[in-house]
Amino acid sequence: MTDHDHTPRPAALGLTGLAVGLGIIGVSIGFATLLGLTATASGGDETTDYGPMAVTAVSSLVLGLLLIAGAVLLWRAHRAARVVIGVAVALLVMSSIARMVVDSVTFISVLGSVLSLCALVAMGVLLASSGVREHVREGVPLRLN
């Protein structure tokens, strides 16, 4: 083993944790929403007004899976990790901005938008950090000791 195997990578670990956490939240919300829409449709209720909700659920599911895949790639120090997570973060930023423009302004919508953007800014900073760049460049997977 080389010394690189035991080098702590806090930026890479932080970004991996944020990506997995937000990915799990996205997959959970998307799956639960699709499950609710399916239950509503199977109950015989009219679902034509739920089109935007279905699109949101599918996009949440896909972006969550993209973040989880990016986290796995980052853990393995794969070169595509930064691109995958970067694309997911960019799409999430656009989604957050669109939600702020379209949604009605309530306390919870403002709070959710601010917290989402804070998490995405943190991910962007970590993504651009030298620690993550070095981790991917060296190609040594992360380890928990």
Give the number of other Cβ atoms within 10 Å of residue 32's Cβ: 13
Flag whether 2 is in a domain: no
Flag whether 56 is in a domain: yes
Flag whether 95 is in a domain: yes
Flag whether 25 is in a domain: yes
Going residue by residue through the chain, which has 145 residues, state the pLDDT in tens, using 9 for 90 and above.
Answer: 454 555 668 999 999 999 999 999 999 999 999 998 888 888 877 777 888 888 888 999 999 999 999 999 999 999 999 999 999 999 998 888 888 888 777 888 788 888 888 999 999 999 999 999 999 999 999 987 7
Tokens coding 52? 């935007």
Helix (H) or strand (E) holding 60: helix 51-75
Residue 91 is predicted with a pLDDT of: 92
Tokens coding 145? 């000791």
Q: Which domain holds residue 128?
A: 7-138
Residue 6 is predicted with a pLDDT of: 53
Q: Which amino acid is at 55?
A: V
Flag whether 46 is in a domain: yes
Flag whether 118 is in a domain: yes
Residue 7 is predicted with a pLDDT of: 63
If one counts the domains in the chain, the total is: 1
For residues 91 and 76, give the distance between their C-alpha atoms in angstroms, rounded to a whole number: 23
For residues 71 and 83, give the distance between their C-alpha atoms in angstroms, rounded to a whole number: 11
Residue 82 is predicted with a pLDDT of: 96
> Terminus-to-terminus CA distance in the chain, angstroms?
14
Flag whether 1 is in a domain: no
Flag whether 144 is in a domain: no
